[in-house]
Structure formats: C-alpha cells, structure tokens
C-alpha cells in the first residue's frame, strides 16, 4: 500500500532540494531520516518534515508498520515564482526571482493492492 505526503509552496529553490530526494529514493524510512538528519541544508529540514508527515499518515491512517516502510518516490516539483525587483545604478532595476517548490514523498510497504 502506498501513502503520500505533500508540502506545497515551500520557500526553497527546487534545484537545491532535488539532490537530497534522489539520495532518499529506495531507502528504508530509518535510513532516509538519517540522510536528512545529517545534512546541514535548509532543504533537509523541509524534506524531513514531509517524510515524518508521510510516516504519521502511514501509521495513523493506513495502519502500517513503520519498520517495513520504504521511500518509493521522493519528488521536488517547481512551484510558483515570486517576482521582485532590486534597485540598480542610475534609476535602473533588475528582476529577482524567488522560487518555490512542492515536495512529494510516497512511502510503500512493498505489498501490492488490487483495487480493480
């Protein structure tokens, strides 16, 4: 069975978070938590929060055992961009793009369910 958790509109550039999510895919949940715990990046804190939410969803909503869960999919998608401007010399401006992302984590216990 699969369980998901999504964090939307995270104030973080998607490119800075993707490398951590690539390292997590296919790992057991305990190992994935270690990957995020020992990374000093801002992305690690946000991904860890989403992963803990997915674990809580699996425990409370789907009644799955935590020690059997693995990270099936961890995706960081592009979100909307905030467009701002910085003042420059002689009355000019330069655009600044502040990026956002959506973090999606899918956990599975390895068992397939036929809903058809």
Residue 6 near residue 104, CB atoms below 8 Å:
yes
Q: Is 70 helix (H, G, I), strand (E, B) or coil?
A: strand
Does residue 107 sit in helix, strand or coil?
A: strand
Neighbours of 53 (CB within 10 A): 17
Cα-only R_g, the chain: 18
Quote the mean pLDDT of the chain. Answer: 93
For the chain, domains (ranges, CATH) are 2-108 (3.90.470.10)
Predicted pLDDT of residue 110 = 79
Token representation of residue 66 = 């935590």
Confidence band for 115, pLDDT divided at 50, 70 and 90: low
pLDDT per residue over 18-73, tens digit each? Answer: 999 999 999 999 999 999 999 999 999 999 999 999 999 999 998 999 999 999 99
Q: How confident is the model at residue 111 (pLDDT cuts 50, 70, 90)?
A: confident
At 69-88, the pLDDT tens digits run: 999 999 999 999 999 999 99
Rounded Cα distance, 87 and 85, in Å: 7
């Amino acid at each position: 069975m699969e369980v998901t958790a999504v964090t939307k509109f995270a104030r973080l550039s998607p490119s800075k978070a993707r490398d951590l999510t690539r390292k997590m895919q296919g790992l057991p949940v305990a190992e994935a938590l270690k990957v995020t715990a020992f990374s000093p990046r801002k992305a690690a804190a946000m991904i860890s929060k989403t992963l803990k939410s997915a674990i809580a969803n699996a425990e409370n909503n789907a009644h799955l055992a935590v020690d059997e869960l693995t990270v099936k999919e961890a995706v960081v998608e592009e979100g909307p961009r905030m467009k701002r401007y910085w003042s420059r010399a002689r009355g000019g401006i330069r655009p600044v793009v502040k990026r956002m992302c959506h973090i999606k984590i899918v956990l599975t216990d390895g068992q397939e369910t036929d809903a058809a």
